[in-house]
Structure 1
Amino acid sequence: MAIKYVWRGDLDNTSLNALHADGFGHPVARTDWRARLERHSLGWVCAWEDGSLIGFVNVAWDGGAHAFILDTVVAQHRRAKGIGAGLVAIAADEARAAKCAWLHVDFEDHLRPFYFDACGFKATTAGLIAL
């Protein structure tokens, strides 16, 4: 089964809410992803397999040099097959094509091997204020 990656792919809120719940282990929400993506994102990448959304990453940005990876998620039954790294690679290519100079990501410590080894991010000093 071939996986199809689509930049700024058409998706519906129901499919993305279901994938997000599966991937992050929470109840299915009713988030209006389409409105959120159109308002705040440079773009997003969808991974499709046999008509099902199995992966997603959002690329938010500041309208200039900085893009930010958010909500990287792969369906639990399709993990550890390179799909997440494929999503991030396309996100990086598209951010570069949009003339962004930096692609940022923050993540929980257990995801270090994914972002540093599989995706090629480098460690940097950053700060955070919990709001």
Structure 2
Amino acid sequence: MTITYEWRGDFDNASLNALHADGFGHPVAQTDWRTRLERHSLGWVCAWEGGSLIGFVNVVWDGGTHAFVLDTVVAPHCRARRVGTALIATAAEEARAATCEWLHVDFEEHLRSFYFDACGFEKTTAGLIAL
């Protein structure tokens, strides 16, 4: 089947909650993604296959030149098909179109190759405070 990618795609909260739980290995939550995204995000990318939501990435921003990738998730049965890479590429394209100059990401160590090698992010020094 063909996979399509949609900037600011229409989705229902139940589908995104199910994808998020499946992709990150936690129980299905009842997050109101629609309200959260409308309030905080520059946009998001949905990946669809056969009418099912199989991938998602959130692009938040500072209202200026910096955008940030959050919640990149691909359904486990669709991994190794470059869905995540296409999600990030679409996110970068749309952030650039919105006149952002930087796209930031942080990630767990096991995702280093994905973000640096597959998606083209460059290594940088960053900091984090656990709250």
User: TM-score with structure 1 length normalisation?
Assistant: 1.00
Per-residue deviation, residues 70-123 of structure 1 (Å, max 9, x unmatched): 000000000011000000000000000000000000000000000000000000
In the alignment, structure 1 segments of 5+ residues that lack a partner are none
Give the 3-state SS of the residue equivalent to 1:37 in structure 2.
helix
Partner of 1:48: 48
Task: Name 2:61's counterpart in structure 1.
Answer: 61
Q: Tell me the SS of whatever aligns to 2:127.
A: coil
Moved over 2 A (4+): none
Q: Which amino acid aligns with 1:58?
A: N
For residues 7-62 of structure 1, give each alpha carbon's deviation from its aligned partner in whole angstroms, at most 9, with x where no partner exists: 00000100000000000000000000000000000000000000000000000000
- Segments of 5+ residues of structure 2 without an aligned counterpart are none
RMSD of Structure 2 on Structure 1 (CA): 0.3
Q: Which amino acid is 1:117 matched to?
A: D
Equivalent residue, structure 2, for 1:122: 122
Aligned residue for 2:93, secondary structure, equals: helix
Aligned to 1:76: 76
Q: Does 1:100 align with 2:97?
A: no
Deviation at 1:6, TM superposition (A): 0.2
Separation of aligned partners in 2, 1:30 and 1:16: 10
| Count of matched residue positions in the alignment of Structure 1 and Structure 2 | 131
Overall identity of the aligned pairs, in %: 79
Residues of 2 paired with 1:36 and 1:91: CA distance? Answer: 18
